[in-house]
Amino acid sequence: MMANEGHIEAFDIYEHKLPLIRQQADRLGIEIVTAETMDSAEGSESLYETADKLLADVPCSGLGVIRRKPEIKYKEIQDFTDLEVLQGRILEKIFAVSEDRRNFSLQHMHHKRQRKRRPDQAFS
């Protein structure tokens, strides 16, 4: 898509995940990725305003990988509710400063499969 030209900034709230981002970029031969820590729920208005495209890979429940991580089934229901609130905070922050929502993509899996609305419709 970008032919290894330009710049990709990747963020995670956890410092220990940054090497994983870099490893995956290296594995794919992508040399234009930098990885830094940032809490996306707090965000960076200057980043959101200057980015050509935004991709939000919001935290998920992990239920899609329950076979590999069986401990997930012991989570409390409140954990999933809190997760949905956090996802909403991240999207609200992005949409509050993003003028052109066509430049936004959401990577998201939800434990409530019956939810079929587009995420940006909640903030229109």
pLDDT in tens, 18-75: 999 999 999 999 999 999 999 888 877 777 677 777 777 888 777 778 888 888 888 8
Q: Which residues, 6+ apart, have CB-to-CB distance to 5 below 8 Å? A: 32
- Indicate the pTM of the whole model: 0.68
Q: For residue 27, what are the contacts with CB-CB under 8 A and spacing of at least 6? A: none
The mean pLDDT of the chain is: 78
| Three-class SS state of 44 | coil
* Residue 104 pLDDT > 80: no
Q: List CB contacts of 94: < 8 A, sequence separation 6 or more.
A: 40, 43, 48, 54, 56, 104
pLDDT band at 114 (very low <50, low <70, confident <90, very high): very low
DSSP 41: T
Query: Percentage of the chain with pLDDT > 70?
Result: 76
| C-alpha 25 chain-centroid distance | 16
- Residue 55: strand, helix, or coil: strand
Question: What is the C-alpha to C-alpha distance for residues 16 and 8, in angstroms, rounded to an integer?
Answer: 19
The pLDDT of residue 41:
83
Position 34 scores a pLDDT of: 93
Task: Give the tokens for residue 43.
Answer: 């965000």
Q: Note the pLDDT of residue 116.
A: 44
H runs (alpha helix) in the chain: 18-27, 45-50, 77-97
| Bigger pLDDT: 12 vs 117 | 12
pLDDT of residue 113: 47
The Cα angle at residue 24 between residues 18 and 27, in degrees rounded to 5: 140
